A and B are shown apart, each in its own frame.
Chain A
Amino acid sequence: MTELRKARIATASLAGCFGCHMAILDIDERLIELMKLVEVDRSPLTDIKRFTRRCDIGIIEGGCANEENVHVLRDFRRNCDVLIAIGQCAIMGGLPAMRNAIMHSDAPLRECLEEAFLTGRYIRNTTHQVPNDPALPLLLDEVYPCSEVVEIDYNIPGCAPSGDIIYETLAGLLAGKFSGFERHRIRFD
């Protein structure tokens, strides 16, 4: 007989602010109930850096702004049965996607970097250069929603989503009962 095992969950924050991970903690004391059903594998919450084994649910916060984000996202898709994009950055790019459409600019990424490191009024950058250390992941031309890089199974909207909607979605998925959100619970802010 196969023993019932706990569902394995992995999480990652790509180009996000970690707010959605904080929102996961907003599940509060229900986390105790949830932890009876799941164990957390690769995640900033456990500080496990690589998948130890295949996971049932992968939770992705943030969109893809650099090549490392793409690498991590593809790794999650390979190692997770169900992939959830959590929050507006993962779903549609969110705040980092502001750099995709800078007014009057043909090269929005260059303009963004120049203002951030060279020409901005409150910048003190003694090297007078945009950081270019080879150890830094290469930036993508644009910030991409996760769904443009890999297939995403579920999206939990919000900035950040409430602890309630995250808990209900996870609990529903674990029980095999998730069938979408109630209208009045959907928020993009």
Chain B
Amino acid sequence: MTGFTFTIDGVEVAAKDGQTIMEAADAAGIYIPRLCDHEGLRHQGACRVCTVKAGGRSVAACTQPAAPDQAVENETPHVTKLRRDLVEMLFHEGNHLCPICEASGNCELQAMAYRLDMTQPTRFPYLEPCRPLDASHPDIALDTNRCITCGRCIRASEEVDGKGVFGYVGRGIHRRVAVNGADLADTNAAITDFAISKEVCPVGCIIRKGEGFAIPIGEREFDKGLIGHEIEEKKRD
């Protein structure tokens, strides 16, 4: 496999043929914020939080192949503002009440807000949609108020579990993640599924019953460091 180099914010990065901008950046220890992308799952380019500027255009770093000698802008004030606006709109679109959410501290949406310096999601009106809660399954609950339709559970269930428990329904702003049945108990979802594991749902929508507060607030994943610090530490080593 041949390789080439391109730059991210002026830093030279090595890439292999076929690698996306994000894959090359991850390997080089440069963190590009992302919500819908997850290691081991197909890239989707849905959330656009990984938007970078390449060749003067806004592209999703998780799906855009890296190109030789390309100059990519990642952490410029302009790109950071675009990302912060996107994350802010996600907060306005659903019902994201961090103080009552058991995922608080482990939530990637919340951690992304911290990383992008969002202290006041108050520029847009809150949509406050009425969305259902599905607690039918004995081991799993779904609180769709918190869903950001990233589709990670859909891909995990299809590609890793081979089940297809979740899927998209509707279009545009009405697009939602739904289960393949009347409710979750009606599907073949199991607590052992990869799609149900803690790492797949970035927010607090897929809830593993009985585990919520095993780790107290203040000692959780993103209390230890900003989201993406593992990738950035690779660079320092």
**Is the C-beta of B12 less than 8 angstroms from some C-beta in chain A?**
no
Assess the B226–A183 pair: CB atoms within 8 A.
yes
Q: Is B130 an interface residue (CB 8 A)?
A: yes
Q: Contacts A103-B131, A103-B133, A184-B226 given; indicate if A189 touches B104 (C-beta within 8 A).
A: yes
Q: Which of A98, A157, A187 contacts B100 (CB 8 A)?
A: A98
- Are B128 and A100 in contact (CB-based, < 8 A)? yes
User: How far in angstroms is the closest Cβ of chain B from A65?
Assistant: 14
Q: Among A98, A152, A155, A180, which residue has its beta carbon within 8 angstroms of that of B97?
A: A98
Q: How many residues from B make CB contacts under 8 Å with A?
A: 31
A88 within 8 A of B: yes
Beyond A97-B97, A101-B130, A159-B98, is A147–B117 a contact (Cβ under 8 Å)? no
In the bound complex, residues from chain A placing their C-beta under 8 Å from that of B52 are none
Secondary structure type dominating chain B contacts: loop
- Which of B126, B217, B218, B225 is the one whose CB lies under 8 Å from A92? B126
Tell me, yes or no, whether B197 is within 8 Å of chain A by CB.
no
A155: chain B residues at CB < 8 Å are 119-120, 122
Is A173 at the interface (CB under 8 A from chain B)? no
Query: Chain A interface: which size bin?
Result: 20 to 34
Residues of chain A within 8 A of B119, CB atoms compared: 91, 155-157, 180-181, 186
Q: Tell whether A102 is near chain B: CB-to-CB under 8 Å.
A: yes
Which residues of chain A come closer than 8 Å to B110, judged between CB atoms?
188-189
Interface residue? A62 (CB, 8 A): no
A-B contact pairs, 7 of them (CB 8 A): A98-B100, A101-B128, A142-B128, A147-B122, A187-B223, A189-B98, A189-B110
- A interface residues, Cβ below 8 angstroms from B: 88, 91-95, 97-98, 100-105, 108, 142, 145, 147-148, 152, 155-157, 159, 180-181, 183-184, 186-189
Cβ contacts under 8 Å, B126 to chain A: 92-93, 100, 145
Closest Cβ–Cβ distance, residue A17 to chain B (whole Å): 10
B105, B121, B129, B130: the one within 8 Å of A189 (CB):
B105
Whether B132 pairs with A104 at a CB distance below 8 angstroms is yes
Known: A95-B100, A184-B225, A188-B99. A145 touches B122 (CB 8 A): yes
Task: Tell me the minimal C-beta distance from A141 to chain B in angstroms.
Answer: 11
B145 within 8 A of A: yes
Bound Cα distance A91, B118 (Å): 12
A-chain residues with CB within 8 Å of residue B121 when the two chains form the complex: 91-92
A181 CA to B115 CA, complexed, in Å: 11
Complex Cα gap A88–B133 (Å):
23
Within the assembled complex, what's the spacing in Å between the Cα atoms of A164 and B225?
18
A101 and B95 contacting across the interface, CB-CB below 8 Å:
yes
**B168 interface hit (Cβ, 8 Å):** no
Contacts of B30 in A (CB 8 A): none
